[in-house]
Structure 1
Amino acid sequence: MGGISRRSMLASVTNLKSLRRLHLHSNLLVTVPASLASLPNLSRLDLQNNCLLAVPPEIQTLPFVRLRGNPLGETEPSPQAVTSCFPVVPRLQRSSSFFTVTSEGCKVVLACGIHFYFPPGAASDPLQICCRTLAPDPQWVKLRHHDVLLSRVLELQPHGVKFQQEVQISMPYASPQTLHQREVVVRTFSGQSWSDLRTRAKQKRKSKHVAHCSVLHFSWFLVVARLVQNECKVPAEGTLLFSSVDPNIKVTFPPGVTEEPRTVEMQVSDAGCRASPLLCLSQDSLVDFLRPVRIQLPLPPGVTGINLDQSRLHLLHGDLEGQIWDDITSQVVLEFTHLYAVFEVTHFSWVHAINPTCSLFPLQARYWLWYTTKTYIGGIAKKVYERLRMYQVNFIALQRKKDPEQVLLQCVPKHKVDPVLKKLQDRYRGPEPSDMVEMFEGEQFFAAFEGGISIDMDRPDCVDGRLSFIFYSHLKNMKEIYVSFYRGAIPESIPEEASRRRKGPDSLWLVTLPIKLPRLKPRWGENPGPLNGFSFPPLNLGNAETGYLTQANLLSIARRVGADWQTIGLNLGLTYQQIEQFAVQDLDKQILDMLFSWAQQNSEDPDCVSKLITAMKESGRQDIADEVETIIELGRQKYRESIRRVGLEQESSTEDSAIAMV
């Protein structure tokens, strides 16, 4: 319920003289009208767990009012009061809860599934806690490479208050597809940087996962899945660090390697190519090691000490961002066993050969063994590293069946497309999902309507008429689009009393309606009906074996037709009368209506795709004909792959004959 709707609702409630009970708890109310106190029959008023900083005295003195869980008496912080160490956090799509903790301690369960346990004595004085869940902003929530975000951001206030005992927090998170080589951790923001907390992840039910952590102060928290991290404290006596993911990867620190103890962390990622696992090492010291550190990596798959050609083996070192990969084979001494390569280093940073003035990154290093005949593999390694961080996704645009003017936009990882469509098919319909594209975790993308339709909204995620999304592989990337209408200038003839009712930031708001797409003309000779009330009904021309042309394909083709549309329409078999009817509109709409009108009339014709290709050739548009043939061939490949995937492909011609005989 929007803010203007709440105000309108409360204003109308004050006229209900027979009202006896009014429950408005957990509605994010910031004000309530004093006129509620004048309702003659009101015997209970529940205003708990809202955002009320003040309540009219007439209401506060009522014996039946409930105000627990509101920040009464607090002052709303001004922008100038925000200290520089804390970021300006986006407040979009947030929900808030308030509760009070005393020295006796308590357990708190929020509606969103977050649990708190305050042990006795954790708070010496009564303390009001404010909880907010925030949409993650990639400009603030900085994910490390290979991290996967599993939750929204949880903000707990007041910041900086230190508890006498650790407070336990349990945060639900999205179920990761797989935890292979990954672990779940709660990450917290100190006001300057993010750090990981000691976390215990637990699966309560099949689809419910919860991360538990303990803290002494409140700030911002989120749940991520990171590469499994092994760490050790390196003393002067030396030690051994090995990977729990691949015990064959280990780092040996000899005695005398350091004067002051330092912490070294290790992460390993399987590259899945003609290379060894990727080793990431980091430390909390800027000082080089006093003695060489010995690192052991497995040889690339298929390579052993017997068949090893040392001229083809390359040891690469990657920078902090994985953008520059230097071949340091000549800078170290490589030793080989039957299964491993061993080398020694005194530091985790290297001067980049490409840019000697580039800043060093002494705190982190990436090592990678490659086996190839290529002489320069830095560029190849960079592309492979990028692919390790990418997700294959599809875009979905659907319309609600009961209200085709309501549009749902969603970005879905490839492996989730079928389950998502199955879940939505009862309520939505629309074109086939888009072709697969690749995206990074936390990458921004935009959605826009073609044909001159722009999204004009007073909201931060709308930029130049386009909706902004942030892709997170395990969170919902979905939005439904609406357009709001607002009043303009109020005529002078309007009474002053009426104009005073429209005050505040939403004073000009009138109504909110779904976006209405351009209407498509009905089929030739068909009366307009409810099914023609939205733009382009789902179309699939052709069949699975010969290949489909989808609605999205037709839209792509329409953009390339241009001034030849009338010739193409005639070659498709449309009459002059039909062409003339389309010609009364602007060019883009003429082309769309012509092409989709023909498609609707011929959607049941098994040869309609070949007719379209022939018409394009006869109209001198071989380029479009080639594009259609390419789309059809791609469709055939997808069909064959789907047959193989579900195990329906026949194994041999003998089986074919047997089936035919039956």
Structure 2
Amino acid sequence: TLQVLQVSVTEVQTLCGDPQARVSPLLCLSQDPSIQFLQPIKVQVPLPTGLAGHTVDLSCLHLLHGDPSAHTWTDITSQVSLYVTQLYAIFYITHFSWYWLWYTTQRCVSGVVRRVYQRLKQFQVQFLVLQRRTDPKQVLLQCLPADKVDNRVQSLSEQYDGPQPSDLCDLLEGEQFFAGFERGLDVSADRPDCAEGRLSFVFYSRLKNLKEVYVCPTQKQEGSIRGQVSFYRGEVPSDIPQEVARKRKGHDSQWLATLPLRLPGLNSEGGSNGMDWEQPQYPPLNLGDPESGYLTEANLLAISLQIGQDWRSIGINLGISYQELDRIQYKYRDNLGALVLEMLFHWARGQQQEGVGLRPAGGPGQKGIGAVPRLVDAMVESDRRDLAEEIKDIVRLGTRKYNESLRRVGLEEEEKRPSAETDPSPSH
């Protein structure tokens, strides 16, 4: 994989105390498995902004090699043949890693770069908790650097509603955090990224850090539910700067922010948005077979949130006719989420009619080609391998939970059986 991370020159100059410092984009190259190349390959990195090859002082130009596992930086300028053109610095490597081109008048370059890199990994972020206007059960969670929040909220305002973004919080690049639904709310699906009732995230400043889920009440309730979503820290990267570590000591060091979340009840104002918990929009189902596993209607709901504009391609690869896709598109032309759901459940109903890998909830499975592999194949053919892998993870999680429940039942029966056998019958 190749990642090119742009770095603010002014921020680097401030952090290292060198007004003449210049840096190139941070180049991250990786491969799996990590092996040596048969022969060296050429890497071409643009010179830092403001520098030209014919005037640059080569004694101030340093090529840094980063170790992504140890988070260290080493000056390898003297170890490589660095050739400078008018616009680029060219060198050869025998394995992929991280590379960073620096221009600085300071001598102890590696230490400066390491400190700057650690500081650049710290971000002030804000959390968003928004509900889709047409279906308040659908909740969007997102964590963004503070300078991106206003534009994001504005772009979502037509389709989503919710509280103001959270207060500013500090997160590190690659730091784990969790979102927990509290005070009567829960996620209405078994998800591989859900640990102990909390959704797991890993923060990366260049990514969306976004998840959409369907929520449900933890127990039956007629009125509206005034719950909340709280965000907590997870595992912190091992190379956390000391000044950050000092700030995280205390009883609330794991808590980041809490935002309110209200679900209207069936008979409350705004309750016409399909908030009838007793009458779900789609009937319970177990899609699949014993060989390949099952997906529930809640799993399909969660998957549908990530399909987006790829719905037609996926529908075609699932075997849905163009006419049917056009009908669905016209019926739900103003609601992409409902459109995707209808497409998936239309296909699921077709599986039921054909008797292919679909059984009523709680009933015996029917014979036929597995519906789950068919759905996975459709995702792969639609270039959505991410969803294909998520479906596999969901099925594996469900299978593991099912097997664990069987083992628990088996143990209980074994514990009861000896007592029944050794219990003497009453004498007459």
Shorter-chain TM-score above 0.5: no
- TM-score using structure 1 length: 0.25
Higher helix fraction: Structure 1 or Structure 2?
2
Rg larger in structure = 1
- TM-score using structure 2 length: 0.35
